[in-house]
With several copies, the nearest count.
Chain A
Amino acid sequence: MTIDAALPCTASELLAVMSARLLRDGEVVFAGVGIPLLAATLAQRLHGPGLTILFEGGTIGAYVEPGQLPPSTNEQRCTRRANMVLGSTDVLLLLQRGYVDVGFMGGAQIDRYGNLNSSFIGSPQRPATRLPGSGGGNDIASLTRMIVAMKHEKRRFVERVDFVTSPGFLDGENSRRDAGLTAGGMFRVVTDLGLLGFDEHSKRMTLLAVHAGVSAAEVQANTGFELAMATELPVTEPPTDNELAVLRHLDPDRLYTA
């Protein structure tokens, strides 16, 4: 991918760095495994010593150690030096109670309204591919402000997801709220091509910025629906040497960033 040539880092590393920048010190972030966990930990090490990381497995205030990345968010290494450990039902209820600022997940398929599909490619009755399913994804996306980090490919950015596993803005406009989802909603989608948000009223996905060496046309070309474009389209700061150094220190085996 052109990105790889343009930057001295893998697409996954780019995702991790760019999404880490979206997390502010002092926030409470509910992170999924993979890029989200890595990016949240990166933010914690770079600019957010007071960033509180929650995991679905039941961890509050995680402080993941370099080279000790967990295979999921349910193993003991997620809890080392954490502030609290509790049941998975109870940690998910913190989302419902309103204690969490940001939910942070990866995505397999997303549509123009930010709905995520991690259940079925094709029809649920006779799927071409049965995917792993929601996990806590539906709960996180239903209850808090979301950041999604994923590869930007036409087959992943579709007009309408085959199955709404984790709700974005559903059919746009007020449909999310009308469905009873009064809290949260999609906030940002970070990809290896750029940074996207959602229009305040129509709730359509909008390109907010592109990464160095990427054009708006290229982003559109890799998207399966018509993107709204921000009036101004800044270019993101490429990952700094320090960001990459810390990131590679956290994941020396490229467990998440291969």
Chain B
Amino acid sequence: MSFSHDELCRRTGARDRSLREKVMSLDEAAALVPDGASVGIGGSTLSRTPLAMIWALIRARRRGLVCARGISSSEGELLFASGTSQHLITSWFSLGIVWGVSRIMRAYTESNRARFEEWSHLAIGLRFRAGAMGVPFLPMRSMLGSDVLARLPDARVIDCPFTGERLALVPALNPDIALIHVQRCDAYGNAQIDGLPFMDLDLALAANRVILTTERIVSNDQIRRRPDQTKIPFFAVDAVVEAPFGCAPHECYGIYEPFFDHLDDYAAALKPDPEQGMRDYLDRHFYEPQSWTDYLDRIGLPALLDAARRGKSIYDD
């Protein structure tokens, strides 16, 4: 996932970066992701997770994806348990304070059925940033002296040629594909992101291909009215998919908060027998639904309305 400048430029030069409409369906976008691809996942934890796209990839029975995300949550469990990925590069992988340690993460990693490659949160961010900047590495001052660094053959330690200080160097991470969910973008892929951007700007520029899912597709005129609100440029984007509530049951800043009741039920269903519980959940919410709308319908209209009411409250004074 780290390339020479020749290879990086060759790959990028081969992409169609012209101003063109690239709106498609979830299934069409999923077809852009081959088995074994390296995939950067936007958002963080329960926020702006590109769940609709992950849902489509799991339904398409994609295999062998090497995934990377700053912080991972239930989407990581779904990727492991569905057999879509056996390798997740992240800084933290669990459900968190409300629902406890991920039993799926434990089951798959402790039995070595899947790999949780741990970097510090800043290290993941700087790896995407190096990828976005077109440099092979970036220097940093954390991870030094820790066992986290000791277990990472891809990182290096140097003495600074300017100050003589010890520095860690982390290699660029240029995923084959980035999956990013945004509040709005136009048909060309000019995307606006409200609230927490996480690592998505760097991820979008680092990846060799970007699939955007969006709550709403807006006109290019609307984008051009406030170009300083555009966070991802169209020429870095290869697919635009309109997916309302595309992060459910996670949140999309300013539009809906996490679906707490659904997540409570999900965690509870996994408690007695995580793997059987996950199989049942995948059947009911991933394999059986006829469409993304059907998926949302199974989560339930009351839950959608409640999450949306809480989501919009961020703009109350």
Contact = CB atoms under 8 A, between A and B. Distances in A.
Instruction: Judge A-B direct contact (beta carbons within 8 Å).
Output: yes
Interface of A: 25-28, 33-34, 49-52, 56-61, 63, 71-72, 74-89, 92-99, 101, 119, 124, 126-139, 142-143, 163-167, 170, 175-176, 179-183, 255-256
Interface in B102-157: 102, 105-106, 109-110, 116, 118-123, 125-126, 128-129, 132-135, 140-148, 151, 157
Given A50-B20, A93-B122, A180-B167, A98 B251 contact: no
Contacts of A81: 224, 227
Interface string B8-23: 1101110011111000
A142 B143 contact: yes
A198 to B, nearest CB: 16
A175 B197 CA distance: 37
Contacts of B128: 89
B44 A88 contact: yes
B235 interface: yes
A61 B196 contact: no
A85 B199 CA distance: 13
A165 B142 CA distance: 11
Contacts of A181: 141, 144-145
Interface in B46-99: 46-47, 70-71, 73, 90-94, 96-99
Nearest to A89: B125
Given A75-B45, A132-B102, A170-B145, A58 B196 contact: yes
Contact of B235 (A52, A75, A143, A176): A52
A115 to B, nearest CB: 8
A170 B147 CA distance: 10
Contacts of A130: 105-106, 109-110, 116
B198 A57 contact: yes
B134 A98 contact: yes
Give chain A's interface secondary structure class.
Answer: loop
A146 to B, nearest CB: 13
Given A83-B223, A99-B12, A92 B145 contact: no
Contacts of A75: 45-47, 251, 257-258
B233 interface: yes
Contact of B116 (A34, A101, A128, A133): A133
Contacts of A164: 145-148
B311 interface: yes
B120 to A, nearest CB: 4
A57 B44 contact: yes
Contacts of B299: none
A133 B118 contact: yes
Contacts of A127: 109-110
A167 B44 CA distance: 24
B230 A84 contact: yes
Interface string B273-295: 00000000000000000000000
9 contacts: A28-B235, A52-B235, A61-B190, A79-B253, A85-B197, A85-B228, A89-B129, A139-B122, A182-B4
B211 interface: no
A98 B196 contact: no
B244 interface: no
A96 B129 CA distance: 13
Contacts of A135: 71, 91-92, 121
B97 A26 contact: no
Contacts of A101: 13, 17
Contact of A71 (B97, B142, B157, B235): B97
Contact of B90 (A61, A133, A165): A133
The 7 closest A-B pairs by CB, nearest first: A180-B166, A89-B125, A179-B145, A26-B18, A132-B94, A135-B92, A142-B142
B116 to A, nearest CB: 7
B234 interface: yes
Contacts of B219: none
Contact of A88 (B93, B106, B198, B227): B198
B201 A87 contact: yes
Contacts of B148: 119, 134, 138, 164-165
A128 B223 CA distance: 48
Given A33-B96, A76-B47, A135-B71, A99 B196 contact: no
Interface string B197-237: 11101100100000000000000100110011010011110
Given A61-B234, A87-B201, A96 B121 contact: no
Contact of B5 (A89, A94, A166, A182): A182
A88 B147 contact: no
A74 B147 contact: no
